[in-house]
Structure 1
C-alpha cells in the first residue's frame, strides 16, 4: 500500500524524482505487541544498519485502538477527537456535542451512507439527483431584482421539490443531519416535512 502513492507520483519523460512525503497510517482494532511494553501510537521510519534514517519521506504510523481509552470529557486535542470518533463511531446514536464540527459531521454523513443497503443507497442517490436538478433550475431561472410571477412559481415548485426529497430520505431512515446537509432545510422543517407533504398532496388533489 505504501508503494502505490509513490508509484502514482512518477512522471513520463524527464523527471527529477522529486517525491512528496508518504504516510502509511494503520488503525488497528487489536494489540499486535501484547508481549512488549504497550504503546498506543508507534511512529516508524526506515533506517540503515547504523541507525541513520534511510528515507525521510516514507513514514509508518500504527495506532492500537484498544489502548485508547479516553472518554469524552478527557479529549484535549483534535487528534484525541479523531481517535474517539473512530473508536466509538458504531455506538453513536447522535453526534456528541464535542464532535459537532463540520469535519466530523462529514464523517458521520459518510458513515451513514456506507451503512445503507443497495436499495436504500439507490434511493438516496435518486433523491439527491432530483434535489440537484431542482436546485439547478432555480439557480438558472433566478435573476436579481423583483421576482416575476413565473419566478415565484418556480421558487414555490422548488420548495415543494426539496420537501419531497427530504420526505423520501426520511422514509429511508436517513439521519436528519444528512438530510439537512443535502437539502439545506432546517432540522425543524425536516421533522414536519412528512406531515406537510401529506397535507400538500391532499390540497393538490382538491384544488
Structure 2
C-alpha cells in the first residue's frame, strides 16, 4: 500500500474535508484540543460566502462546532507547507471571525468564538520546544485572560514532533504521527489502526482510491512545494554568502582607510563597491536560474522514482537510467507512469527514449 501525503492541500482536504470526514474531524479536533475527551459533539463544514471550501487551494476549512451540547463555536483548520508571516495568520483568523455576520444560512447571525488551528511543516516558534502552542488574548501585567475567549490560535509544528511509534501515548500523538509520516508508510501500523478514525483517514489517503486526475493533482502540488522550498533554500544560501563577502570586503576597506590617504582610499573604495555589486548581481542571477532548474528536476525525479519503486521495485540499473533522463523526458515519464501495468512496459519505454536521443 502507499498513501498520499496529508501535508499537501488536496490530500489534507480529502481526508478532513470530504463528506466522509465527520467522524475523522471529531476525533482529530477532540484529540488535539481536548486531550481525547468528546467535548466537540458535532461539526459542519461551512463557508460564509456560499462556496465550497473543500476544493479551494490554500483556503482553510471553516467548521461550525457544538461543544458540550450547548456552546457554538467556529474552527478554522489549515495545513501550511511554507514559512508564513505571523501577520497573515492573524489576518485570516480575524477575517473568518468577522465573516460570521455574512452567514446567509442564519437570519440573525451570531458572533461565535473562533479557534484558528494551523498545522505547519516548518518551525514557526524557534524559542519554544513543544510542538503544540496555544494563544489567546491576555492582560499583560496580570496574565488575566480576556473574557469568553472569543479568538484563539492553535499551532502544531510537525518538525518538532520526534516520537516514534512505540512512544505514542495519546490519540493526539497518533494523529500528529499520521500527518507527519503517512506518505512514507507502506502499511497501516497497529499502533495507529487501534483508532478507527485514523484507519478511515488511511483509507481516504490510499493511492489506489484516487482517480488519474486526482493523482496528477497530488503530483503537481508536491512538485510545486519542492520548487518553492528549493527557491527559499537557495535564497537563504545566497544571502549568507553575500553577507560573508560583504563583511570580508568591509574589513579590507577599513584597512585601506587606515593605511592610505583619504583621496586614494575613496577611489579604491568606489571601484571595489561597483565591482562587488555588479559581480553579486550577475552571480545571483546565474545561480538562481541554475539552482531553480536543478531543484525542479530533482523534485520531479524524486517523486517519479518513489512512485515507480512502489509499483515495480526498480533495480539499480533502471533507477540510474531514469536519473539520466532529461527534464523533458522526465515530464513525459510522469505523464506515462500511471499507465504502466508491468515493469516490462517501463523498460520498453526507457529503451525507446534512448533510441530517440
- 1 or 2 for the larger relative contact order (CA 8 Å, sep ≥6)? 2
Instruction: Please classify the TM superposition score into its range, dividing by the shorter chain length.
Output: 0.3 to 0.5
Q: What TM-score comes out, normalization by structure 2 length?
A: 0.29
- TM-score, normalised with respect to structure 1: 0.48
